[in-house]
Structure 1
Amino acid sequence: MPDTNKLSRRRFLKATGGVATAAALAGCTGGDGEEETTTEDGGAQETTTEMEEETTEEQSGNELSGSVFQRISTGTITTLDPVAATDTASGIVIQQVFDCLMSYPDGLPTVENELAADYTVSDDFTTYTFQLEDATYHNGDAVTASDFVYSWERLAASENSRRAYFILDSVGIAHETDGDGNYVPGSLGLEAASDTELVVTLAEPFHSVLEMFAYTSFAAVPEGIVGDVEGYDGEVEYTEFSSNNPIGSGPFEFNYWEQGTSAAVTKYDDYYGDVAQVDNVRWQIIEDDTAAYNYAMNENADYFGLPTAQYDPSKVQVENTDEFGREIGKYGPIRNGKTVNYVGVPTLSIFYVGFNMSKVPKPVRQAFAHVMNQDQMVSEVFKGRGSPAYIFTPPTIYPGGAQAAQDKIDADYPYGAGETNIQAAREVMEEAGYGPDNRYEVQWTQYDSTTWEEMATILRDQLASAHVDMQIEKADFSTLLERGRNGQLEAYTLGWIADWPAPDNFLQLLNPPQTEVPSNDPISYLNWLPETGDAYQQATDAYSRVQNNPAPTEEAAEVRNEAYVEIETANWEDVAMLPIYNRKDETFWYDTVEIEPFGGMGPSRQKLNKVQLNR
């Protein structure tokens, strides 16, 4: 058994994070704790649609026989390798091809067994023993425990992995580190006790182990399929696996992917679970919102999102709200005269304005908070496609739940919830020495989105009366992230989608030691240092208590819950991040499709093997 290094969870190895570009505000995720551009429909870069039952892929030259559930991807697919993907568009396809030990059924935030037929947990919560299903990969090979040892070694050690911190730091599987604190390859606390028994040893307990094992980064791939970790030569070249021949054990096997054009998967007849009821799923890649909207309105799509510019909240007819808070009903008529099915789902997400605190002084950040009226922005700019956010944790997973979150906001939010207070913004700036002859200039950087630009314009005009001149700049997602890592952003807009449904998945972005830029591995771009924020120590100490009490026990949860609240109040004090809204994902579909509503983990976590087409 390898020696453990309890500092490993406090390191941050290869973090890119669950960043989701708020199309100004972000994939993720990306994703899901994912990098993810939000589109004009207020959803992730995966506005979905479907099309004809029988089709020949004339645009790409690829043929699909049988029924086709055809979707639109409004984001760029970057890879089909589970350990390399951080964007939502890639993750949606990967979700269909690869399986994990656990899963979120239809994206609901409660895990169930997937490749795990059963499991046991030791009394000290550090050893998990999994019995595997009798499953096969798409090449016919059996899924074995050794495959998981190899797959997770890739997650920890491959140069292609973008989620090493998931296994080494978040879950904290036991492992060795060298003198510089780097992972020693081959030292993971994993044992293939037999072909069907996997033993996982943690360095210390962690309260969301099973939830993390549902993330596609932990998916099983055939042992030795690529040679990007020590001890394996590889059966295929990496680019072949990641682009042309990804082999998983999911309900669909890979068919093709043409970058920038389309991708498709085909049902796997020997799937150990519920065999898919459609023969194929195909994604047409359309990044332009207007083009995607036209594609759906021309009835090339059965299941789709609507850009905010074409969305009319008065056309939503909610028939019932279920126990998960999902609004289910009808929407219409749409442009083509039809009324379609509708679901609106409050996803575990937060979209926010972040600040490089070393470039934007605290009084300026507080001026932003005073003028920002989240209620107004959600209602008027985002057309009600979400809920206003004054805390960083999504309310449904805040300690004590949504009502406790609202009570805290009502009692203690220092900038006036639901109001714009230009006078207070002016006063805080003038107390800091700013005025008509000493105005502050700040650069706002956002993704190319007319919706977020509308919000930025409102803020710019309000801040002008408080001695702040805000310049609005647009950048593509990759450029925005690069500038963030390099410490070149001032005020910026991003978002975070849940990796696992717990506050620490969100509040890790407010752990000051992980925010220093320029750096290759910041979890956020705040530069929250003792000299940039008065509440630096409060936030640092509180997150340290979260890290030091990770167990799935009531006692540890109580300590964490108190610390979560302290982190939120530290953020209120220093305005490191200014929460804007929790997104409501909305989808629409014609009666030709039968599909279960997705849950709060988002549509990217939903497998499509139960979808039916009625044509």
Structure 2
Amino acid sequence: MERRSFLKATGSAAAAAALAGCSSDSEGTEGAEEGTGGGMDSTDSSGGDVGTDLKQEGDLWRVNTGTMTTMDPIEATDTQSGIVIQQMFDPLMNYPDSQPAVEGLMAADYEVSDDFTTYTFQLKDATFHNGDTVTASDFVYAFERLTASDNSSRAYFVLDSLGVTHETTTETIDGEEQEVYKPGTLGVEAVDETTLEIQLESPFASTLEMLAYSSFAPVPEGMIGDIEGYEGEVTQAEFSSSSPIGNGPFEFDTWDSGTEARVSAYDDYYGENPNVDGVHFAVIESDSAQYNYAMNRNADIFELPTAQYDPGKVSVEEEDDQGRQNGTYGELRNGATANYSGVSNIGVFYLGFNMASVPKPVRQAVAYAMNQHTVVEQVFKQRGEPAYNFTPKSIFPGGPQNYNDRAENEYPYGYDDSQLGEARSVMEEAGYGDNERVAIELTIYESGVWSETASILRDQLESVYIDLEVNQAPFNTLLERGRNGELEMYSLGWVADWPAPDNFLQLLNPPQTDTSLDFPISYVNWQPENGDAAQRAEEAYQSIAENPAPTEEDQAARNDAYVQLEDANWEDVAMLPVYHELTELFWYDHVDFTPPAGMGPSRQKMNTVSLGDR
């Protein structure tokens, strides 16, 4: 699927950033891909005066668990920056309270051509934070920056994911001639001041969902001079750190990268004006400091680190139509009872195998040994759901019930069961035994919960002739080794770019998993070594490519192909799903707050939150 290959140089870094990008564990490694450090000293556990210089009484007080890296929406790939950027920049579409069904934001209305390749948007009457009117030309400029700027981390959103029409030119890069985007040729046009037209090369069912990314938000035309034809009013360094100008409900106030940030209410916002004076974000990376900060009531909405979390204190009163389990938690250390919400993220965390290095019987033995329920209950303290399909429940064909039915009735390696007898049998049939053991290296990113999971698995596999050596590596090192084909078995995760199964199952398209390529999307080297599972997976993904339109007929064809891909993965165990992460938030009674749904906190705007007396 060439236009959405996800393998081009423009997209490799951004694609990698989604991997395990929202993992969270007892060491507080959320946003593990950033590796930026610079946050609060981990030895400071007071939580009392951290990140309070910018605090104001009328603000909503939040905690960011990792250092923010940029305020430029085309540059950001980390969750913590995204949470703040989401408050300042409004794209065409939006996930209301992170629900996976999009609605218009800057788009007052839109039309789609009969062939699903031309999208025409009518814009709402809005202004930027500097008072300038938002026009269609500002969107054209923003799309060009996203595509052509050297500061963009998301060019593949335009060229590959959406497949916007464009021309290419040949350049010599590292001694090789490569086809690259030709600046100024993007199929995005300002028909008039309030009409924007986007031309796609071919249909893409998730076009509107993609356009909900803040990366597609408008920027005043010519504000930054990092693309051809514009000198810029400010440098990109200034725009990304001290002078971002957006069109969202909050405008930039102040930011200290490793300490705190504040955005203030924008009074001339075209939508629902914020109910709070601003939002204050304290940057606290230490688990103990986060906990103390919240217990000292320095945060209105907060998370609880796993070490201080007690599942017995959760009381769920209802589950809404978005799968959010709402209720209370408590009492807390400070004597209060907090409001509680937990929802399964649209994401999956898994063990991957380099199939060229790890034989199929060994992969199957690992699958037989793994009990996903045990991992979730014992390691994650029930802060997640066991994963048996690679596609998350909420977007699985046929919905969560079909996901559950497949898992309980069809999963071949034991549902809620560690089948060591079956693991031993499949190994013995392949010629392994006490005198013919196999050694496998499992590389995990730096995470306490994955370390504990690996220890459990290592002990189990010892009895089935597999000696598992567990090593940890920084996240970026793990990705680099994976791309180079140097991993045997590894832990990673994938969080949704857009809420559709193909966003996940692209990782299981065999041609894209070849580590001899410059930019493989995953590192499993899935070849037809045993049986025809790899061929069936490739044919299923080709069916997805051939049925891309947002029609019922094409959707039905894609749904069939999604399940075929899941079945092929079960057979060959290219990737072993382990868990779907649970996003849990807690807040005090003085906060009137709708918690985020499955798209996560980085997709939620805070203008509808209200505060009572603290």
Out of 7, 25, 30, the position equivalent to 2:2 is 7
How has the CA–CA distance of structure 1 residues 521 and 216 changed in structure 2, closer, same or farther, with 3 Å as cutoff?
farther
- The answer to whether structure 1 residue 161 and structure 2 residue 152 are counterparts is yes
Q: How many residues align?
A: 590
How has the CA–CA distance of structure 1 residues 522 and 413 changed in structure 2, closer, same or farther, with 3 Å as cutoff?
same
Q: Counterpart of 1:451 in 2: which secondary structure?
A: helix
Distance in 2, Cα, partners of 1:275 & 1:569: 48
Report % sequence identity.
Answer: 57
1:422-441 equivalences under 5 Å are 422-441=420-439
How has the CA–CA distance of structure 1 residues 582 and 60 changed in structure 2, closer, same or farther, with 3 Å as cutoff?
closer
1:99-178 equivalences under 5 Å are 99-178=90-169
1:487-506 equivalences under 5 Å are 487-506=485-504
Give the aligned partner of residue 259 of structure 1.
Answer: 257
Is the contact between residue 358 and residue 532 of structure 1 (CA under 8 Å) also seen in structure 2?
no
1:155-304 equivalences under 5 Å are 155-178=146-169, 180-304=178-302
How has the CA–CA distance of structure 1 residues 146 and 406 changed in structure 2, closer, same or farther, with 3 Å as cutoff?
same
Is the contact between residue 329 and residue 339 of structure 2 (CA under 8 Å) also seen in structure 1?
yes
How has the CA–CA distance of structure 1 residues 255 and 302 changed in structure 2, closer, same or farther, with 3 Å as cutoff?
same
- The answer to whether structure 1 residue 35 and structure 2 residue 37 are counterparts is no
Q: Counterpart of 1:396 in 2: which secondary structure?
A: helix
Cα distance per residue 1:417-451 (max 9 Å; x no partner): 21101122222223333322332222222233222
Distance in 2, Cα, partners of 1:493 & 1:377: 14
Amino acid at match of 2:115: D
How has the CA–CA distance of structure 1 residues 291 and 358 changed in structure 2, closer, same or farther, with 3 Å as cutoff?
farther
Distance in 2, Cα, partners of 1:326 & 1:586: 9
How has the CA–CA distance of structure 1 residues 339 and 133 changed in structure 2, closer, same or farther, with 3 Å as cutoff?
same
Amino acid at match of 2:482: G
Quote the offset at 1:10 in angstroms.
3.4
Q: Counterpart of 1:91 in 2: which secondary structure?
A: helix
Give the aligned partner of residue 39 of structure 2.
Answer: none
Distance in 2, Cα, partners of 1:67 & 1:19: 38
Amino acid at match of 2:153: R
Distance in 2, Cα, partners of 1:60 & 1:10: 42
How has the CA–CA distance of structure 1 residues 43 and 95 changed in structure 2, closer, same or farther, with 3 Å as cutoff?
farther
1:162-561 equivalences under 5 Å are 162-178=153-169, 180-517=178-515, 521-530=519-528, 535-561=533-559
Quote the offset at 1:519 in angstroms.
5.4
Distance in 2, Cα, partners of 1:429 & 1:100: 53
How has the CA–CA distance of structure 1 residues 11 and 37 changed in structure 2, closer, same or farther, with 3 Å as cutoff?
closer
Distance in 2, Cα, partners of 1:365 & 1:76: 37
Distance in 1, Cα, partners of 2:563 & 2:246: 41
Is the contact between residue 19 and residue 34 of structure 1 (CA under 8 Å) also seen in structure 2?
no
* Structure 2 unaligned blocks of 5 or more: 33-47, 171-177
Distance in 1, Cα, partners of 2:207 & 2:367: 36
Amino acid at match of 2:116: F
Give the aligned partner of residue 51 of structure 1.
Answer: none
1:598-613 equivalences under 5 Å are 598-613=596-611
Distance in 2, Cα, partners of 1:493 & 1:423: 25
Is the contact between residue 149 and residue 190 of structure 1 (CA under 8 Å) also seen in structure 2?
yes
Q: Counterpart of 1:245 in 2: which secondary structure?
A: coil
Give the aligned partner of residue 61 of structure 2.
Answer: 70
* Structure 1 unaligned blocks of 5 or more: 1-5, 21-26, 47-56
Cα distance per residue 1:228-265 (max 9 Å; x no partner): 22222222222112222222111111222222222221
- Range that drifts further, 466-475 or 143-152: 466-475
Give the aligned partner of residue 84 of structure 2.
Answer: 93
Is the contact between residue 18 and residue 498 of structure 1 (CA under 8 Å) also seen in structure 2?
no
How has the CA–CA distance of structure 1 residues 602 and 507 changed in structure 2, closer, same or farther, with 3 Å as cutoff?
same
Distance in 1, Cα, partners of 2:386 & 2:13: 23
Q: Counterpart of 1:442 in 2: which secondary structure?
A: strand
Is the contact between residue 14 and residue 153 of structure 2 (CA under 8 Å) also seen in structure 1?
no
Quote the offset at 1:107 in angstroms.
0.5
Is the contact between residue 133 and residue 196 of structure 1 (CA under 8 Å) also seen in structure 2?
yes
Quote the offset at 1:73 in angstroms.
1.2
Amino acid at match of 1:220: P
- Range that drifts further, 524-533 or 291-300: 524-533
Distance in 2, Cα, partners of 1:262 & 1:458: 38
Quote the offset at 1:518 in angstroms.
5.8
Quote the offset at 1:482 in angstroms.
2.7
Cα distance per residue 1:353-385 (max 9 Å; x no partner): 112222322222212111011112112221222
Distance in 1, Cα, partners of 2:52 & 2:342: 36
Quote the offset at 1:94 in angstroms.
1.0
Distance in 2, Cα, partners of 1:513 & 1:79: 34
Is the contact between residue 116 and residue 132 of structure 1 (CA under 8 Å) also seen in structure 2?
yes
Question: Which TM-score applies when normalising by structure 2?
Answer: 0.91
How has the CA–CA distance of structure 1 residues 518 and 290 changed in structure 2, closer, same or farther, with 3 Å as cutoff?
farther
Quote the offset at 1:103 in angstroms.
0.3
Is the contact between residue 28 and residue 285 of structure 2 (CA under 8 Å) also seen in structure 1?
no
Quote the offset at 1:59 in angstroms.
5.9
Cα distance per residue 1:137-170 (max 9 Å; x no partner): 1122211111111111122222222222221122
Is the contact between residue 91 and residue 214 of structure 2 (CA under 8 Å) also seen in structure 1?
yes
Quote the offset at 1:554 in angstroms.
1.4
Quote the offset at 1:12 in angstroms.
2.6
Quote the offset at 1:457 in angstroms.
0.9
Question: Which TM-score applies when normalising by structure 1?
Answer: 0.91
Q: Counterpart of 2:121 in 1: which secondary structure?
A: strand
Distance in 1, Cα, partners of 2:588 & 2:212: 30
Give the aligned partner of residue 594 of structure 2.
Answer: 596
How has the CA–CA distance of structure 1 residues 533 and 335 changed in structure 2, closer, same or farther, with 3 Å as cutoff?
farther
Cα distance per residue 1:24-60 (max 9 Å; x no partner): xxx74xxxx77233233999559xxxxxxxxxx9766
